[in-house]
Amino acid sequence: MLRKANNVFSVILDDETVAPLAAGSIATDSSLPAGAIAVVDLGMKVLNNTTWGALADGDQFMVVQGKGAGVPMVKSPVLTKGKVKITSAKHVASVQQITVIGYNGTSGTLPSANDTSYYVKVRKNDNDEGNRSQPFSLFGQFKTSGSASVTETAFGLAENLVKNMKDEPDNGYLSVEVISNGTMTTTGVNADVVNGSTTVTFASNVTIADGVFLAIAGATYKVKTGVTAGTVITLSTPYVGATATITAGTTYATNIGTLASITATGLRLTGVEGKFDVNRNRNFFVNRFTATFSDEDTLITHVQGAREGVGIWQRVALDEYMSYGYEGQNEMINTPPTPRDQVVKIPGVGGVTAATAKYSVVNISWTEDIDGLVSKAGAKGSVLMYVNLDGSGNLGGAGSSGEATVTTLGITAANLDE
C-alpha cells in the first residue's frame, strides 16, 4: 500500500516469545504484556480464537499491542467486519543480485590476450544514498602482461574492482569473487576464514607458496603471502563467504584445497546488503546493477535477481517508525530531536539473531467514504500486523500471542510459517 499522510496507517508488532492474554480478559497497559498483541472488542475484552466466524458484518473490533505497564498500548483504529479486507503473506528473505562474467561453473571464460586492457562496467540501477537522480557506473580495469593467462586477467580485474568498491559509501556495494575450473588437491588441514578478511588460519602447519591458487568454499583465491610450515596465509582479495571453518578436501563448492591446471575463470559479482538505521537512512534497498565486459564475446550470466523480501526487519522498522509519525509522534523534528521508541527485533541487539528477527505480515485494509458539502472522496486505511517467527521460521506454538491473534482473525497460523 502506498504510504501517504492522508491515509490511516497503523503498525502492530508481535514478539513470539510472549504468551497471549487469556480470552475474555480485559486488555490494559498492565495486563497486556509488552510484546503481546490481541484482538479486542470495543470494551477491550480479548476475543477468543473462535470469534471470527461468529462475528456478523457490522461488528467492530480493534487490534492492540502491549508496550508494558505505565506505557500506552498501541491501538488500531476501530475496524468493522464486512468493511475490512484481510490479507496475509509469509516471511520472504531479501536476496542480492548475483551476476557472473566469464566462467559460470559450466561454460565461458575470461579472455587472456597479451598486452590487452580489459574492463568491467557496473551500472548502478538502484536508488541508493549516493545515486538519487541518475544511475552511474563503476569500473574495474586491468591490462595484461606479455604472457597473459586467464588467471592473470581474473585476479587483475578482481583486485582492481575490490579496490574501487572500497570507495563506495556505507557497504562497498559489491563483493567480488573469482571462480575457476582448476584441478583441486586437498591441503589436508581445515582452515578458519572470516568474511571480509584476507587472512586464512589453518588448524595446523601447512606449506603454501606465494601465488598459489586456493579453492575456498566455492570460489578461487590467490595467495598473496604464503607460509612454510606455518598456519597463517594472506589472500590477494578478501574472503567474501560466510565466516566458518572450511574442511580440507577436493570438493570445490564446500572444501579448501589448492588448484592447478586452471583453463577457465570468471568473476562473480554479488550485491552487498547496506547498513540500515531507521533514524539515519529511512530507506532500505537491495543492489540492482547491469554488468558488462569490454570484450563483448565474453559470456555474462545472470544468476540471481535482487528482491527486498517480505517481513524483513528493516522494512518492519521503517513501517513502525512511519506509523508513529502518522499518529502524531513528531518529536523527531524538534531541536534537538527525540528519537521514537522502537520494539522491532534487530539482529545483534539484545540477543536477537537473524533467525529470530523475521516477521510474517497480516494486512487489514479498508476504504472510507468522506462526504463534503460539494465533494466526495475515499480515504484508504491499513493496519499492518507483523507477527514474529521463532528461530525455526514458524509462528510459534499455542503459547504465542501472534498465533492466537491471527487465528482469531480467521487465518491459519501455519500458513504464515516461513
| pLDDT tens figures, 163-203 | 999 887 667 889 999 999 999 999 999 999 999 999 999 99
Q: What count of Cα atoms within 13 Å lies in the side-chain half-sphere of residue 392?
A: 5
Give 218-274 pLDDT, tens digit per residue.
Answer: 999 999 999 999 999 999 999 999 999 999 999 999 999 999 999 999 999 999 988
CA distance 256 to 253: 9
C-alpha cell at 325: 509519525
Residues 62/75, Cβ–Cβ less than 8 Å: yes
Would you say 11 and 319 are in contact if contact means Cβ atoms under 8 Å apart? yes
* Model confidence at 2: pLDDT above 60: no
- For 227-258, give one letter per residue: b (16+ CB within 10 A) or e: beeeeebebbbbbbeeeeebebbeebeebbbb
Domain chopping of the chain, boundaries: 8-92+310-416, 98-304
The string of DSSP codes covering 289-356 is EEEEESSTTS-EEEEE--B--BS-HHHHHHHHHHHHHHTT--GGGSSS--PPP--S--TTSTT--GGG
Rounded to two decimals, the pTM is 0.87
Lowest mean pLDDT among 16-20, 221-225, 259-263, 339-343: 339-343
Read off the pLDDT of each residue in 309-313 and give the average, rounded to a whole number.
94
> How far is Cα 264 from Cα 235, in angstroms, rounded to an integer?
20
* C-alpha cell read off for 27: 486488555
The Cα 68–Cα 35 span in angstroms is 8
**Run of H or E including 163:** helix 150-165
Contact yes or no for 142/160 (Cβ under 8 A)? yes
What's the pLDDT tens digit per position in 73-110? 999 999 999 999 999 999 999 999 999 999 999 999 99
d(CA 174, CA 171): 8
